[in-house]
C-alpha cells in the first residue's frame, strides 16, 4: 500500500478511537458520576417518614377517678414545601418556565391564599389564620414541621376531608391527642397544664431521620410538669409512598405512637371537691388535707384558681393577660408558697422545748416579755399567769413560748425547726415550691439579713411565728402530721403510683420516713403533752381553736400573723388540726389571707372540712362535680359563721392572737411572700392578621 494511503488510514483510525473514547468518557460521566443528579430529575415515586407524637398518659386520683385524659382532636395541617412545589408545577404547566424565574420571592402565605384556601373553601374548611406566622414557620422549618392551619375540626368535617384530601397535595388531616381536664378547675394547681411542642427543639439526627416532624406537648405546671417524662408516650413513625406530585399512594409502614404512663395521685377527688368548695367562703387561701401515717396529701387547694383546659391547645391572649395581671395570683399554688405562720410555729417550738429538756417548765405570763427597750406582748394584755406546756398551747400564750425559746437558744431552735423540714423544700412532686425561711438559716443569713445575728428578740419572735419567719401550709401539715402520728416525719407525697401500660409499676406506693423524733431525743410522754395541748385548744373552755372542734375528735392550734399584704397591714389567719385524737386519720391545715384571726376565720373552715371527712367515714358519699374557677377577692374576713354554732362555743372561746403583738417592734415584719413565683409562659393563641383574614379568590370549576 502506498504511503499516502497508509497515512490516511492511520488518521482515520485515530479519529475513530478519539471519538469512541470521547463517547465512552461522556457515557461514564452521565451514567456513573452524574447518575444521582439525573435520577432526581426523573419523575418517580418516593417515601416520606413522618414522626407522630406519643399519647400522653392519664392522671387519676387515688381511687381511679380520671382527672386528666386525652381526647381525639382533628386538625388540618400544611406541608408547605409540597404546597409550593405543587403551585410551581401548576405555573409551569399553565404559563411556562418563565413564570417561575422569581418563584423564591413569592411568599408562602400568598400561595396558600391563592392556591389552597379557595379549594378548602369549596369543602367549607377555610378559616382565618395568621399569615405572618405561616411565613415565619416556612422560613424556619421549610417542610420538616407541618403547619397547623386548623385544630378545631368536627369528626364529620374530618371524615369528609379524608375522602377528598388527594385533591390537595401538601394538605392533610390528622388525629392528635388533645388534653382534657374532666372536672373543670378541680385540683388545677395540682394537675397544672400542658404547652404545645416548641418547634425549635429538633436535633440534627431527627432532621435526617424524618421528612416531617411533630413533637410532643409537655407539662409546664403541676404534676403535668414534674411527671412529664412518665406521662409522655413513645413516638410513632409513619412511612408513606408518594408520587411526583406529592399525592399519597399508600402507607408503607406504621409504628403506632405509644401511650405514656398513668400517674395515680394521692388525692381523693371527692375530698378535693369538699375542700375547694369550703375555701370559697374566703377570697384568698390555701388548704391541705394529709394522711399523717403516710405523708399522702388527700387534698390540696388554693384559691383563686384557674381552668387548665383553657391552655389546651393554646390560651386566648386576653385570658392569659387576665391570669398574669390578676393581683390575687390565680396561677400560684398558695398551698406550697409562703405565709407568715404566726402561732402555728408554737408547735415546733414546743417540740424543740421537749427535745432540749424544757417540756416541764412553768412560766409566768405577765402580758409581755421585755427585750431591752422594747416589749413583745402576749395577745392577752393582762397575762395568763403561770402556765405549763399543755395550757400554753391551749391558750396560745406568747410569753411562755418566747421565754422557753430563749432558754433553748437560737441554734437549738434552728436545728429543731430544720429537723421538722422548716426553712427548706419538702420535695413534694410539684414545681415552684417555696422553702420558707427561719432566723439563722442560710437564706436568712445571706439574703434577708446579711451580717445580722440572731438576737434574743428575734428568737422570741421565731417561737411565735412573727417577723422573720415563713412557711407553707404543706410544711405545717407535715409538722402537724409528725405530732399526730407520735413522732414520725414523712416526706409529703402527691403521687401515689406511676404505672406504664407495658412495663408495669415504675413508681411504687411507698411512704418515705425522713425522721423519727423518738430516735432524736424526744420522749413519748412529752410529745403526748403537745398532743394533749392541741386537744385542749379545741375542746376545753378558754381554748383558741374551739371553732375548729367537732364533737371531741379534733385537736387543733390557731395562728394569727401580722404581715404586709400588697402594702397593706394585714393578717394571715391559720388553723392546723388533726383527728381523731387516739388514731389520727386526717391532718387539716387552712391558711387565709386577710383573715381577722385564725380562730374566727380559719377555724370554722377546718371544722367544715373535718365534718365532711367524718361524714364520709360514716358512709356519706361526698359530691364530685365539675368546678368553675373562683376569682377570689381582697375583702377582710372578720368571721366565718358555722351553720349550727351555739352559745356554748361563743362563751368558751377566746379570741387568741390578734397579730398586733409585734406592732411596736422597730424591725419591720418581713414580707412572707417576697415575690410571685415564676409562672411559665404557655402557648398563646395567635389572632388572624390582615393577610390571613382576607377572603381567598374563588376557583371557577369548568363543567
Q: What is the per-residue burial (b if ≥16 Cβ within 10 Å, else e) of 562-587?
A: bbebeeeebbbbbbbbbbbbeebbbb
Q: Is the pLDDT of residue 289 over 70?
A: yes
* The pLDDT of residue 208: 82
Q: Is residue 17 part of a domain?
A: no
Q: Is residue 204 part of a domain?
A: yes
* The pLDDT of residue 703: 33
Burial group, residue 60, by CB count within 10 angstroms (0-12, 13-18, 19+): buried
* Low-confidence winner among 100-109, 353-362, 519-528 (lowest mean pLDDT): 100-109
Q: Is the pLDDT of residue 323 over 80?
A: yes
Q: Is the pLDDT of residue 460 over 80?
A: yes
Strand partners, 654: none
The single-letter DSSP state of residue 421 is: T
Residue bearing the bigger pLDDT, 277 or 669: 277
* The pLDDT of residue 564: 86
DSSP assignment string, 28-68: HIIIIITHHHHHHHS---EEEEEEEPPBPPPEE-TTS-EEE
Q: Is the pLDDT of residue 285 over 80?
A: yes
Percentage above 90 pLDDT, the chain:
58
Are 332 and 479 within one domain? Answer: yes
Q: Is the pLDDT of residue 165 over 80?
A: no
Average pLDDT rounded to a whole number, residues 469-482? 97
Q: Do residues 287 and 301 touch, judged by C-beta distance below 8 A?
A: yes
Report which listed range, 96-105, 165-174, 555-564, is most confident.
Answer: 555-564
Per-residue pLDDT band for 351 (boundaries 50, 70, 90) equals very high
Cα separations in angstroms, 2 against 7, 10, 415: 9, 13, 122
CA angle 371, 372, 374 (to 5 degrees): 65
* The pLDDT of residue 101: 85
Per-residue pLDDT band for 246 (boundaries 50, 70, 90) equals low
Count the domains in the chain: 2
Per-residue pLDDT band for 5 (boundaries 50, 70, 90) equals low
Residue bearing the bigger pLDDT, 98 or 639: 639
Q: Do residues 596 and 621 touch, judged by C-beta distance below 8 A?
A: no
* The pLDDT of residue 3: 65
Residue 432: CATH number of its domain: 3.40.710.10
Q: Do residues 581 and 258 touch, judged by C-beta distance below 8 A?
A: no
Strand partners, 637: 595
Are 252 and 276 within one domain? Answer: no
Q: Output the average pLDDT for the chain.
A: 88
* The pLDDT of residue 651: 37
- Comparing CA positions, the residue from 190, 242, 168, 187 lying closest to residue 212 is 242
* The pLDDT of residue 18: 77
* The pLDDT of residue 394: 96
Average pLDDT rounded to a whole number, residues 240-248? 71
Strand partners, 265: 495
* Low-confidence winner among 1-10, 308-317, 407-416, 631-640 (lowest mean pLDDT): 1-10
Per-residue pLDDT band for 571 (boundaries 50, 70, 90) equals very high
- Comparing CA positions, the residue from 553, 633, 645, 552 lying closest to residue 592 is 633
Are 175 and 300 within one domain? Answer: no
Q: What is the largest CA-CA distance in the chain?
A: 148
* The pLDDT of residue 534: 98
Are 405 and 524 within one domain? Answer: yes
Are 217 and 278 within one domain? Answer: no
Residue 139: CATH number of its domain: 3.90.1310.10
3-state secondary structure 549-577: CCCCCCEEEEEEEEEEECCEEEEEEEEEE
Please tell me the total number of residues recorded for the chain in this structure.
703
Element counts in the chain: helices (H) and strands (E): 24, 24
- Comparing CA positions, the residue from 548, 544, 578 lying closest to residue 642 is 548
Q: Is the pLDDT of residue 225 over 80?
A: yes
CA dist 430 and 329 (Å) reads: 17
Are 288 and 228 within one domain? Answer: no
Q: What are phi and psi of 378, to 5 degrees?
A: -85, 155
The set of cell numbers assigned to 332 is: 400560684
CA dist 171 and 194 (Å) reads: 27
* The pLDDT of residue 330: 96
pLDDT tens profile 382-412: 899 999 999 999 999 999 999 999 999 999 9
**Can the peptide bond before residue 258 be classed as cis, meaning omega within 30 degrees of 0?**
no
Burial group, residue 24, by CB count within 10 angstroms (0-12, 13-18, 19+): exposed
The set of cell numbers assigned to 364 is: 409566768
Q: Is the pLDDT of residue 24 over 90?
A: no
Average pLDDT rounded to a whole number, residues 644-653? 48
* The pLDDT of residue 621: 94
CA dist 306 and 301 (Å) reads: 11
Q: Is residue 7 part of a domain?
A: no
* The pLDDT of residue 247: 65
Residue bearing the bigger pLDDT, 602 or 239: 602
Q: Is residue 116 part of a domain?
A: yes
* The pLDDT of residue 519: 96
Residues 6 or more apart from 305 whose CB is under 8 A from it?
A: 185, 188, 189, 276, 330, 627, 629, 630
* The pLDDT of residue 698: 55
- What pTM, to 2 d.p., does this model score? 0.86
Residues 6 or more apart from 516 whose CB is under 8 A from it?
A: 487, 488, 489
Residue bearing the bigger pLDDT, 148 or 285: 285
Q: Is residue 670 part of a domain?
A: no
* The pLDDT of residue 676: 58
* The pLDDT of residue 200: 64
Average pLDDT rounded to a whole number, residues 666-685? 60
Q: Is residue 411 part of a domain?
A: yes
Q: What are phi and psi of 694, to 5 degrees?
A: -70, 150
Sort strands 385-387 and 236-242 into parallel, antiparallel or unpaired. Answer: unpaired
pLDDT tens profile 489-498: 999 999 999 9
Percentage above 70 pLDDT, the chain:
89
3 state DSSP class of 450: coil
Are 285 and 237 within one domain? Answer: no
Q: Is the pLDDT of residue 413 over 80?
A: yes
> For residue 294, how far is the Cα from the chain centroid?
23
CA dist 254 and 72 (Å) reads: 19
* The pLDDT of residue 35: 66
* The pLDDT of residue 663: 56
CA dist 451 and 535 (Å) reads: 41
Are 221 and 277 within one domain? Answer: no
* Low-confidence winner among 8-17, 66-75, 126-135 (lowest mean pLDDT): 8-17
Rg (CA), the chain: 35
* Low-confidence winner among 6-20, 52-66, 318-332 (lowest mean pLDDT): 6-20
* The pLDDT of residue 300: 98
Q: Is residue 154 part of a domain?
A: yes
Q: What is the per-residue burial (b if ≥16 Cβ within 10 Å, else e) of 102-122?
A: eeeeeebbebbbebbbbbbbe
CA dist 649 and 478 (Å) reads: 29
CA dist 588 and 575 (Å) reads: 8
CA dist 569 and 562 (Å) reads: 7
Q: Which residue segment(s) compose the domain that 479 sits in? A: 269-652
Are 61 and 191 within one domain? Answer: yes
CA dist 625 and 634 (Å) reads: 26
Residue bearing the bigger pLDDT, 698 or 438: 438
CA dist 165 and 143 (Å) reads: 18
3 state DSSP class of 23: helix
Average pLDDT rounded to a whole number, residues 656-678? 54
Neighbours of 142 (CB within 10 A): 13
Q: Is residue 477 part of a domain?
A: yes
- Comparing CA positions, the residue from 90, 100, 77 lying closest to residue 165 is 77
Residue with cell 384557674: 306
* The pLDDT of residue 20: 77
Average pLDDT rounded to a whole number, residues 111-125? 88
Q: Is the pLDDT of residue 650 over 50?
A: no
Per-residue pLDDT band for 61 (boundaries 50, 70, 90) equals very high
Average pLDDT rounded to a whole number, residues 75-102? 88
Cα separations in angstroms, 454 against 266, 445, 460, 469, 471: 39, 9, 10, 12, 19
Are 87 and 181 within one domain? Answer: yes
Q: Do residues 662 and 669 touch, judged by C-beta distance below 8 A?
A: yes
3 state DSSP class of 195: strand
CA dist 346 and 379 (Å) reads: 14
* Low-confidence winner among 9-13, 98-102, 287-291 (lowest mean pLDDT): 9-13
Are 576 and 637 within one domain? Answer: yes
Are 428 and 331 within one domain? Answer: yes
Average pLDDT rounded to a whole number, residues 203-219? 83
Amino acid at each position: 500500500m502506498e504511503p499516502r494511503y497508509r497515512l490516511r488510514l492511520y488518521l482515520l483510525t485515530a479519529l475513530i478511537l478519539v471519538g469512541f473514547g470521547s463517547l465512552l468518557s461522556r457515557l461514564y460521566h452521565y451514567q456513573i458520576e452524574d447518575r444521582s443528579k439525573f435520577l432526581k430529575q426523573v419523575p418517580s415515586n418516593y417515601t416520606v417518614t413522618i414522626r407522630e407524637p406519643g399519647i400522653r398518659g392519664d392522671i387519676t386520683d387515688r381511687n381511679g377517678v380520671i382527672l386528666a385524659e386525652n381526647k381525639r382532636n382533628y386538625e388540618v395541617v400544611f406541608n408547605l414545601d409540597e404546597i409550593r412545589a405543587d403551585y410551581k408545577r401548576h405555573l409551569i404547566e399553565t404559563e411556562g418556565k418563565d413564570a417561575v424565574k422569581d418563584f423564591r420571592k413569592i411568599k408562602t402565605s400568598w400561595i396558600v391564599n391563592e392556591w389552597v384556601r379557595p379549594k378548602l373553601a369549596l369543602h367549607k374548611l377555610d378559616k382565618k389564620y395568621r399569615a405572618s406566622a405561616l411565613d415565619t414557620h416556612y422560613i424556619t422549618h421549610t417542610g420538616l414541621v407541618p403547619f397547623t392551619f386548623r385544630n378545631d375540626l368536627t369528626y364529620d368535617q374530618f371524615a369528609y376531608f379524608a375522602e377528598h384530601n388527594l385533591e390537595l397535595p401538601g394538605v392533610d388531616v390528622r388525629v392528635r391527642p388533645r388534653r382534657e381536664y374532666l372536672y373543670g378547675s378541680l385540683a388545677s394547681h395540682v394537675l397544672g397544664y400542658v404547652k404545645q411542642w416548641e418547634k425549635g427543639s429538633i436535633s440534627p439526627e431527627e432532621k435526617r431521620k424524618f421528612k416531617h416532624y411533630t413533637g410532643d406537648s409537655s407539662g409546664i405546671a403541676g404534676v403535668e410538669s414534674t411527671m412529664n417524662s412518665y406521662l409522655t408516650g413513645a413516638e410513632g413513625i409513619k412511612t408513606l409512598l408518594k408520587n411526583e406530585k406529592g399525592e399519597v399512594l399508600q402507607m408503607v409502614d406504621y409504628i403506632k405512637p405509644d401511650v405514656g404512663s398513668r400517674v395515680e395521685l394521692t388525692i381523693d377527688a371527692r375530698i378535693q371537691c369538699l375542700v375547694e368548695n369550703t375555701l370559697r367562703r374566703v377570697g384568698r387561701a390555701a388548704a391541705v388535707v394529709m394522711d399523717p401515717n403516710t405523708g399522702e396529701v388527700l387534698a390540696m387547694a388554693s384559691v383563686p384558681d384557674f381552668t387548665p383546659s383553657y391552655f389546651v391547645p393554646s390560651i386566648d391572649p386576653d385570658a392569659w393577660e387576665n391570669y398574669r395581671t390578676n393581683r390575687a395570683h390565680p396561677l400560684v399554688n398558695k398551698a406550697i408558697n409562703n405565709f407568715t405562720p404566726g402561732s402555728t410555729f408554737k408547735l415546733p417550738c414546743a417540740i424543740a422545748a421537749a427535745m432540749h429538756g424544757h417540756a416541764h417548765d412553768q412560766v409566768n405570763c405577765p402580758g409581755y416579755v421585755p427585750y431591752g427597750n422594747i416589749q413583745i406582748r402576749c395577745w392577752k394584755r393582762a397575762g395568763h399567769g403561770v402556765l405549763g406546756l399543755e395550757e400554753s398551747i391551749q391558750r396560745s400564750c406568747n410569753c411562755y413560748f418566747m421565754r422557753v425559746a430563749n432558754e433553748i437558744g437560737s441554734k437549738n431552735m434552728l436545728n429543731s425547726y430544720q429537723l421538722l423540714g422548716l426553712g427548706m423544700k419538702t420535695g413534694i412532686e410539684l414545681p415552684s415550691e417555696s422553702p420558707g425561711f427561719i432566723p439563722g438559716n442560710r437564706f436568712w443569713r445571706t439574703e434577708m439579713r446579711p451580717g445580722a445575728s440572731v438576737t434574743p428578740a428575734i428568737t422570741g419572735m421565731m417561737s411565735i411565728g412573727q417577723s422573720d419567719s415563713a412557711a407553707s401550709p404543706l410544711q405545717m401539715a407535715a409538722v402537724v402530721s409528725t405530732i399526730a402520728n407520735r413522732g414520725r416525719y414523712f416526706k409529703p407525697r402527691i403521687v401515689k403510683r406511676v404505672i406504664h401500660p407495658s412495663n408495669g409499676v415504675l413508681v411504687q406506693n411507698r411512704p418515705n420516713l425522713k425522721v423519727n423524733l423518738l430516735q432524736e431525743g424526744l420522749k413519748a410522754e412529752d410529745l403526748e403533752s403537745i398532743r394533749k395541748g392541741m386537744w385542749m385548744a379545741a375542746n376545753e373552755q378558754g381554748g383558741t381553736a374551739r371553732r375548729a372542734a367537732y364533737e371531741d375528735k379534733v385537736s387543733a392550734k390557731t395562728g394569727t400573723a401580722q404581715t404586709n399584704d400588697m402594702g397593706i397591714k394585714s393578717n394571715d389567719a391559720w388553723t392546723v388540726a388533726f383527728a381523731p385524737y387516739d388514731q389520727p386519720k386526717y391532718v387539716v391545715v387552712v391558711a387565709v389571707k386577710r383573715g381577722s384571726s385564725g380562730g374566727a376565720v380559719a377555724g370554722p373552715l377546718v371544722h367544715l372540712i373535718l365534718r365532711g371527712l367524718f361524714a364520709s367515714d360514716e358512709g356519706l358519699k361526698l359530691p364530685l362535680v365539675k368546678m368553675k374557677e373562683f376569682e377570689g377577692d381582697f375583702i377582710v374576713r372578720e368571721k366565718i359563721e358555722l351553720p349550727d354554732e351555739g352559745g356554748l362555743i361563743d362563751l368558751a372561746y377566746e379570741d387568741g392572737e390578734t397579730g398586733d403583738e409585734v406592732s411596736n417592734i422597730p424591725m419591720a415584719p418581713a414580707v412572707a411572700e417576697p415575690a410571685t413565683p415564676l409562672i411559665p409562659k404557655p402557648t398563646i393563641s395567635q389572632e388572624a392578621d390582615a393577610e390571613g383574614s382576607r377572603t381567598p379568590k374563588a376557583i371557577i370549576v369548568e363543567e
